[in-house]
Amino acid sequence: MKRRWFFASILFILSASLTLALSSYCLPNSVTLRSLAEKRGIEIGAAVAIPPLKTDPIYQQLLANQFNTASVENVMKFEYLHPQPNTYTFEQADTLVNFAKSHNMKVHAHVLVWHIQLPKWLTEGKFSRDQLITILRDHIHKVVGYYKGKVQAWDVVNEALNDDGTLRNTIWLQGIGPDYIEMAFRWAREADPNVELYYNDYGADGLGPKSDAVYSLVKKLKAKQVPITGVGLQMHVGLGWAPPKGDVLANINRLGDLGLNVHISEMDVQTYDGPGTEEEKLQKAANLYADMMSACLSNRACKSFTVWGLTDKFSWLPGFTGKPQSPLLFDTNYRPKPAYYALIDVLQNK
């Protein structure tokens, strides 16, 4: 039985390597997203899932060849790093940080303050305002301090706004009040004087009430000298609902004018809904990727472009939507898709 598994694994690795080699046959080996992005002076990133990073050599190879930044998809969230009041567990996140270091990649750490993926001791506990402040401050000091000098950036506050631009009613807003946002940035800066600090949100990529609210939030933070480096525009979009490129560029421009960096931080494209053959849909998704990369390249404030997953095999979207989706740059067999070639083309020619 063991022998059978051994031969099956060898066969899998050989066939996956062959697939990878054949599928990129039309590009010279030296032309990768990573090499082109480095020439253009921007970072190109993918959100990383830990199980395949630990066990799958093809996943590792693809990640290190094509990307120079790794975003941490899950394992730096509160419930992973701080599962009990006095217990911190860094092992899984360390796997990624060590991988990145040995492949000369940066790490975009995600996330310090969010309302999801919190441990039960926190969500079910009863805490006074002062206690909650102490909990959050200690968490941020400990975690940012632990990764000081090892990660390039932190998403400090994630998704603090509703679609209408009001503040989201989270455990942090209820327990601390609206000041939790600026407190979080200041605590992160105390723990690491050099790391980049981001506000990150979805549905605020183009123009509209939510992106206006993000703009006015970060403008106020800047005016109060809160240490914020930039804004992450998540860019979770779909074939029928994506902001026009011009709106994204206008948004990047106004954030850049505040002296902030912009990070296209979590791009993926839902492909299930909408007309057309599978091939046409993949091409439309490719066009969206090209548009957003081109918007990013149009303003030096946009320094980083990240896709939310390496391959469709591990995307969160099929599970979340309950529908088959083809959201990323590489398919479930790790073959590059039209979206990959579209990004290569934009990086090379536009």
Cα(239)–Cα(252) distance, integer angstroms = 21
266 included as an active-site residue:
yes
Smallest distance from ligand 9MR to CB 225, Å = 27
What per-residue string of b and e applies to 94-131 under the rule 16 or more CB within 10 Å gives b? eebbebbeebebbbbbbbbbbbeebbeebeeeeeeeee
By the rule CB under 6 A, 205 interacts with ligand 9MR: no
Nearest to 106 by CA among 115, 114, 97: 97
Q: At what angle are helices 57-66 and 91-102 packed, to 10 degrees?
A: 50
By the rule CB under 6 A, 325 interacts with ligand 9MR: no
β-strands 230-233, 153-158 pairing = unpaired
Per CB under 6 A, contacts with ligand 9MR among 70-89 are 73-74
Helix or strand (DSSP H, E) at 69? strand 69-72
Per CB under 6 A, contacts with ligand 9MR among 231-250 are 234
DSSP track, 154-186: EEEEE--B-TTSSBP--HHHHHH-TTHHHHHHH
Smallest distance from ligand 9MR to CB 205, Å = 12
Among the listed residues 73, 159, 182, 196, the single catalytic one is 159
Nearer to ligand 9MR among residue 67 and residue 202 (C-beta): 202
By the rule CB under 6 A, 116 interacts with ligand 9MR: yes
By the rule CB under 6 A, 333 interacts with ligand 9MR: no
User: Mask of contacts with ligand 9MR, 27-66, x by CB under 6 A?
Assistant: ----------------------------------------
Q: 63 with 45: CB under 8 angstroms? A: no
Q: Using CB atoms within 10 Å of the CB of residue 4, give its burial: 0 to 12 exposed, 13 to 18 middle, 19+ buried.
A: exposed
**Maximal CA-CA distance, the chain:** 66
Residue nearest to ligand 9MR (CB): 316
Nearer to ligand 9MR among residue 233 and residue 346 (C-beta): 233
By the rule CB under 6 A, 305 interacts with ligand 9MR: no
Phi/psi for 342 (5° steps) reads -65, -40
Smallest distance from ligand 9MR to CB 197, Å = 16
CA dihedral 97, 101, 102, 103 (to 10 degrees): 100
By the rule CB under 6 A, 117 interacts with ligand 9MR: yes
By the rule CB under 6 A, 266 interacts with ligand 9MR: yes
By the rule CB under 6 A, 314 interacts with ligand 9MR: no
Nearer to ligand 9MR among residue 180 and residue 198 (C-beta): 198
The tokens describing 120, both together, are 């039960």
Give the total of residues touching ligand 9MR (CB under 6 A): 9
Per CB under 6 A, contacts with ligand 9MR among 165-204 are 202
Q: Which residues bind ligand 9MR (CB under 6 A)?
A: 73-74, 116-117, 158, 202, 234, 266, 316
Q: Which positions are catalytic?
A: 159, 266
